């Protein structure tokens, strides 16, 4: 897995934010994360990763937490990113955009009639 390229991590007033930019900003919203999640995110920014590689790196950084706890938290973080379309995981993005409909005069009249009856 890897992060999508249209994401930016920023620290603002002591808060960590993942901000989607470009087209991705139309699909997902800005996300507040903890400093620990920001550390994991920075590891993710380096390229391809697996849950195991993230756990291994986190165990080197955080010695006061169990592997089980780290694995659980990292798994949830990966799921959160994936559910918000922030990972290159093969999950298709939702289709966004507008559609212009051309109605016939008959269809327009029918819609007007329905509007008056409601």
How does pLDDT run across 51-100, given as a tens digit for each residue? Answer: 999 999 999 999 999 999 999 999 999 999 999 999 997 777 777 666 77
**What percent of the chain clears pLDDT 90, i.e. is strictly above it?**
67
Who wins on pLDDT, 6 or 99? 6
| Mean of per-residue pLDDT scores for the chain | 90
pLDDT value of residue 97: 63
Q: Is 7 exposed, middle or buried (0-12, 13-18, 19+ CB in 10 A)?
A: buried
pTM of the complete model beyond 0.85: no
- Locate the domains of the chain by residue range: 7-117
Q: Which two tokens stand for residue 36?
A: 């620990």
């Amino acid at each position: 897995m890897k992060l999508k390229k249209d994401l930016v991590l920023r620290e603002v007033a002591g808060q960590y934010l993942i901000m989607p930019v470009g087209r991705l900003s139309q699909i997902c919203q800005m996300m507040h994360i903890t400093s620990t999640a920001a550390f994991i995110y920075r590891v993710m920014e380096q390229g391809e990763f697996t849950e195991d590689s993230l756990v291994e790196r986190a165990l080197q950084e955080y010695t006061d937490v169990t592997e089980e706890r780290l694995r659980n938290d990292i798994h949830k973080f990966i799921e959160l990113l994936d559910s918000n379309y922030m990972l290159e995981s093969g999950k298709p993005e939702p289709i966004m955009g507008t559609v212009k409909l051309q109605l016939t005069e008959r269809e327009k009249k029918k819609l007007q009639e329905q509007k008056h009856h409601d």
